[in-house]
Structure 1
Amino acid sequence: MYAQNAASVNEFLGHSWNKRAGNYTNFSLGEALLRARSYFPESCWYWIGVGALLGYTVLLNILFTFFLANLNPLGKQQAVFSKEELQERDNRRKGENVTELRHYLQYSSSVNGNYFKHRGMVLPFQPLSMSFSNINYFVEIPVELKQQGITEDRLQLLVDVTGAFRPSVLTALVGVSGAGKTTLMDVLAGRKTGGVIEGSINISGYPKRQETFARISGYCEQNDIHSPCLTILESLLFSAWLRLPSDVDLEIQRAFVEEVMELVELTPLSGALVGLPGVDGLSTEQRKRLTIAVELVANPSIVFMDEPTTGLDARSAAIVMRTVRNIVNTGRTIVCTIHQPSIDIFESFDELLFMKRGGELIYAGPLGPNSSELIKYFEAVEGVPKIRPGYNPAAWMLEVTSTAEENRLGLDFADIYRRSNLFQ
């Protein structure tokens, strides 16, 4: 108001507005206009306005500086910790033994998994298996490579891959970088839109149709992408609202979301903001569990997970795998790609698909207790060194099947597998 009045007085009391407004008034044209608009017409109001603006500027800056110096922020930007994480931190300070990773994985089978298996869930689902035979995948050779002298038109990334995923069985896809783990999973999930795919894929004995398969499957990507301004509960409710059938009412949706949060052990954090990675909100392991839950609220029968433990420390990876085991125990089919797992993480899987560089399968079958079936199979191959006591079976498996070892032994592990009783 002060600024507008000062500007108006400065304009309309100038020389160009000095003419009389009429024969029956002593006011100038500018003064008459100011009075008609209810402004203060005296010239002193120009300086009053300037003084008022300067006064407000000084006062507001003083208040702003005072409050910044003396008031604390509403909340700290930090990761959210669950009760069990806080308990473990307290145990470390007291010098008590930290719970072993193996306990995390065994706990899920004895408590959480059996609870959901016997109680059931609000929304039923049909357990489904997936089988695939002679999967080949080709992509076009880039022009840059052709200019370097490559004469082939297509590059083969998967070579005659055959296997199966079953309900209530946790299957690992393992291999060195470039073996085609994620490529195979993307082909089976229908996420590859380019290239040429050969072979057959069946769902519980019926040929796979992508339109139907998309409704009964979920895919957890390696990157955890979430809205930072939503809470965990809001994120899951939004996903359920978009992906569940329209005939499922909101009350059932919310009840199912709460069951999923309990299944992935996020119930104590349901009101926590997701936040930004590495800045505030959820920790990396909690974000990974949220990613799994976002897919799970669509009530899929088959779930693909791309390296769910990548970027996590040993304890966080064990918590995520315990969550995955909880989901498996509900009767769903779970497939995970995994890269160089620890011994505890590796032995939490039930079955293994092991691929070598070039997209060929060299083992598909059960792991057995303490990876006994896997070790028995590879130690039976002539020339393969025995595993050392206490050594990680996953690391040993990758070492003895490397390209260098194949060249040293003069073997082709893919050919050995195709001629084995396990393949037959």
Structure 2
Amino acid sequence: MPSEQENISVHAEPSTRSSCLEDGLSEQLQATIFRCSKLRGSLRPVTLKFEDVAYSIKLPKTGGICFGSTDSKPDRVVLNGVSGIVRPGELLAMLGPSGSGKTTLLTALAGRLPGKVSGTITYNGQPFSGSIKRKTGFLTQDDVLYPHLTVLETLTYTALLRLPKNLTRAEKVEQAELVILELGLTRCRNSVVGGVLLRGISGGERKRVSIGQEMLVNPSLLLLDEPTSGLDSTTAQRIVATLQGLARGGRTVVTTIHQPSSRLYWMFDKLVVLTDGYPIYSGAASRAMEYFGSVGYVPRVDLVNPADFLLDLANGVGPDTKEGDRYDNHGRSESDDKNSMKQFLISSYKKNLNDVLKAEIRGNCGDQNASLPPTSSIKSSHEQQWTTTWCEQFKVLLVRGLKERRHESYSGLRVFQSLSVSILSGLLWWHSNPLHIQDQMGLLFFFSTFWGFFPMFNAIFAFPQERAMLMKERSSGMYRLSSYYFARMAGDLPMELVLPTIFVAITYWMGGLKPLPINFVLTLLIILYNVLVSQGLGLALGAILMEVKQATTLASVLMLVFLLAGGYYIQHIPPFIAWIKYISFSYYCYKLLIGVQYTEDNYYDCEFGQHHCKTLEFPGIKHLGLNNMGFNVAALGVMLVGYRFMAYVALRVRQH
């Protein structure tokens, strides 16, 4: 009835309210739920239709010039002619063996599939748009969560980023509390999520947290990729029961599932069965067995789980087929039998179901109550694209990043590493004699190399480690890339600058360098400048390659080249390769450190015991050329901005 569906809202969800009341919640808690439910606003139903969806990928060329062949392989068909319809209040499951195209189809329905998808996919008769995207929840198979944040922190930060700006911070926090109550996460609300290397909440609770992140925006359409993967049967049933309750509240829920139990199967309203990208059934789950019986595949009388029967059919295994038989009486191989059976099921689908399903998809019955406004009224301007302001995004991402990475930035291992190296180097250069110029130059060069190598290799891991999270959140439109990037830069600064400050404060005075405050301060500023430049290079390498092993290998080669051309090991570089030193930040940092430490009034101990040789006449210093320190500062400044700009551009390109 149109009038009822138009007024569907979250606080009217029968399954959610009954579950809360059955748990014996207090009246005050129920009032909180009701208040937070009103904050979500009305739920606008979405009818999802997809007709003749097809998708293929290009395979790389075979052979090559050396083999005399550059023929390209035919495109691999991932999806072909898949159709279906799912309405508000229905739970649709996609069933099929691994590689059948379930995830690809789900990703296409979510509007996140790269490349060209043929066919028609509509949401209340409209194509995919920004307004649909903001009301769509998409859950990948892997739970992409920050391991060191608690359940409450995870949902709160998501609420602050995804909920509209017209809600106050307190209202957004209340919304996160409501989701915790709805999904039964109260017991673990203050527990860390955990991960591979950190013990946290259980797998089922992690899955519910992931669902909760999508539930915060009160999605009209919820798409989930194998939400029961890796869970025991009881936990899997709870997850599917949760999805069924969400669907009964007026949402359209679509999920892929690999091997459901019989209890899970009967929770589904509709079913799409795929084999090798082709549909063999699309319709009501309760009528699937009847359909396959009508085309000649009657299940055994002892069958308990219908899903097992359907998966066998999708794999080309009939109810009377024996898996152990390699050849039948006619000498055909088992694979031939499977392929012929699959082809029969595909043709049966086209003959018996395809036309009826298309007629249902193209009909308007039942959809008048769920129509979107005309396309012209859909808001799509740049200002209306984001639910929160840039400053709010920056602030939330900065605080979240500091909390998540505090264990890494302020780890005892990093502090111990810096302190131990600083004390050891201070002892090795203990009160070095200013007359022994070569020793002090070695210490200054060590400053530039260590604080070029250390920050760069730490920064390489930044973006590759957060790649999955960045892709997930950016695809959901949670924040601008620029706000994330600057929040990441600002969050890394405290520890990146504190450690070198402690290092220089210890080693400078122990090493016997010029004991004047101004020289110490200038040396410290140069080292911090060098740290920021080397960190920028590490960020750029990580963002461009997005592969830690490749980035660290390339960084090792670059750092070796920069060190060799840094002006300490080699003074007379051949002209044809001398340009390398001008792209080495170690070269400019070393020149600045030398320029700060030595002036015309300094002398060193030269040959035959003479002590009146000017320091600036020392061959290693004279060759550097210290007459233009401003150019060195500017060169490092260009690198500082250039490397970070390269990292941002690389991230921007990768998201498209």
Q: Structure 1 residue 330: deviation in Å?
A: 2.0
1:394 aligns with 2:310: no
Give the gaps of 5 or more residues in structure 1.
1-106
8 Å Cα contact 2:274/2:281 also seen in 1: yes
CA distance in 1, matches of 2:109, 2:341: 33
1:111 aligns with 2:18: yes
Match of 1:121 among 16, 21, 37: 37
Alignment of 1:142-161 (within 5 A): 142-144=60-62, 151-161=72-82
8 Å Cα contact 1:113/1:325 also seen in 2: no
1:418 aligns with 2:350: yes
CA distance in 2, matches of 1:109, 1:288: 18
Q: Structure 1 residue 273: deviation in Å?
A: 2.0
CA distance in 2, matches of 1:386, 1:360: 22
8 Å Cα contact 2:137/2:222 also seen in 1: yes
Cα deviation digits, residues 24-45 of structure 1 (max 9, x gap): xxxxxxxxxxxxxxxxxxxxxx
8 Å Cα contact 1:172/1:351 also seen in 2: yes
Distance 1:186 1:409, change over 3 A: closer
Equivalent position of 2:128 in the other structure: 208
8 Å Cα contact 1:113/1:330 also seen in 2: no
The one-letter amino acid of 1:139's match is: I
1:165 aligns with 2:97: no
8 Å Cα contact 1:273/1:282 also seen in 2: yes
Equivalent position of 2:52 in the other structure: 134
Q: Structure 1 residue 409: deviation in Å?
A: 5.4
CA distance in 1, matches of 2:112, 2:343: 34
8 Å Cα contact 2:60/2:73 also seen in 1: no
Q: Structure 1 residue 213: deviation in Å?
A: 2.4
Q: Structure 1 residue 259: deviation in Å?
A: 2.0
Equivalent position of 2:209 in the other structure: 290
8 Å Cα contact 1:264/1:326 also seen in 2: no
Cα deviation digits, residues 144-197 of structure 1 (max 9, x gap): 48989865452221111111222111110111111100001111111112x321
Alignment of 1:24-423 (within 5 A): 111-112=18-19, 121-122=37-38, 123-124=40-41, 125-144=43-62, 151-193=72-114, 195-209=115-129, 211-277=130-196, 279-357=198-276, 359-368=277-286, 373-382=287-296, 384-403=297-316, 405=318, 407=339, 412-421=344-353, 422-423=356-357
The one-letter amino acid of 1:157's match is: V
8 Å Cα contact 2:53/2:80 also seen in 1: yes
Distance 1:109 1:360, change over 3 A: farther
8 Å Cα contact 1:201/1:207 also seen in 2: yes
8 Å Cα contact 2:299/2:309 also seen in 1: no
Q: Structure 1 residue 255: deviation in Å?
A: 2.5
The one-letter amino acid of 1:175's match is: G
Distance 1:360 1:150, change over 3 A: farther
CA distance in 2, matches of 1:348, 1:141: 39
Distance 1:283 1:220, change over 3 A: same
Question: What secondary structure sits across from 2:224 in the alignment?
Answer: strand
Q: Structure 1 residue 138: deviation in Å?
A: 1.9
Q: Structure 1 residue 140: deviation in Å?
A: 1.4
Cα deviation digits, residues 74-98 of structure 1 (max 9, x gap): xxxxxxxxxxxxxxxxxxxxxxxxx
Equivalent position of 1:14 in the other structure: none
Q: Structure 1 residue 337: deviation in Å?
A: 0.5
8 Å Cα contact 1:113/1:326 also seen in 2: no
CA distance in 2, matches of 1:224, 1:409: 36
Question: What secondary structure sits across from 1:281 in the alignment?
Answer: coil
Cα deviation digits, residues 319-368 of structure 1 (max 9, x gap): 222222222222111111100111111221111011111x1111111112
Q: Structure 1 residue 110: deviation in Å?
A: 9.6
The one-letter amino acid of 2:92's match is: T
8 Å Cα contact 1:112/1:326 also seen in 2: no
8 Å Cα contact 1:139/1:196 also seen in 2: no
CA distance in 2, matches of 1:399, 1:338: 15
Bigger Rg, which one: 1
Distance 1:176 1:276, change over 3 A: closer
| Higher percent of residues as strand | 1
The one-letter amino acid of 1:142's match is: P
CA distance in 2, matches of 1:208, 1:244: 21
CA distance in 2, matches of 1:312, 1:145: 43
Question: What secondary structure sits across from 1:214 in the alignment?
Answer: helix
Distance 1:149 1:164, change over 3 A: farther
Q: Structure 1 residue 199: deviation in Å?
A: 1.3
Question: What secondary structure sits across from 2:134 in the alignment?
Answer: coil
CA distance in 1, matches of 2:177, 2:261: 31
| Higher percent of residues as helix | 2
8 Å Cα contact 2:62/2:70 also seen in 1: no
Equivalent position of 1:29 in the other structure: none
Question: What secondary structure sits across from 2:50 in the alignment?
Answer: strand
Distance 1:377 1:231, change over 3 A: same
Distance 1:168 1:150, change over 3 A: farther
8 Å Cα contact 1:244/1:299 also seen in 2: no
CA distance in 1, matches of 2:309, 2:127: 37
The one-letter amino acid of 1:298's match is: V
Q: Structure 1 residue 241: deviation in Å?
A: 0.7
CA distance in 2, matches of 1:131, 1:182: 17
8 Å Cα contact 1:229/1:275 also seen in 2: yes
Cα deviation digits, residues 197-236 of structure 1 (max 9, x gap): 1111111112222x23221111111111222222211111
The one-letter amino acid of 2:183's match is: V
CA distance in 2, matches of 1:237, 1:179: 37
Cα deviation digits, residues 236-291 of structure 1 (max 9, x gap): 11001111111122232223222222221112322222223474220111101101
CA RMSD of aligned residues (A): 2.9
8 Å Cα contact 1:168/1:331 also seen in 2: yes
| Structure 1 stretch displaced more, 152-161 or 176-185 | 152-161
User: What TM-score comes out, normalization by structure 1 length?
Assistant: 0.67
CA distance in 2, matches of 1:266, 1:108: 16
Give the gaps of 5 or more residues in structure 2.
1-13, 23-29, 319-337, 360-656
* Higher normalized contact order (CA 8 Å, seq sep 6+, divided by chain length): 1
8 Å Cα contact 1:181/1:355 also seen in 2: yes
8 Å Cα contact 2:95/2:311 also seen in 1: no
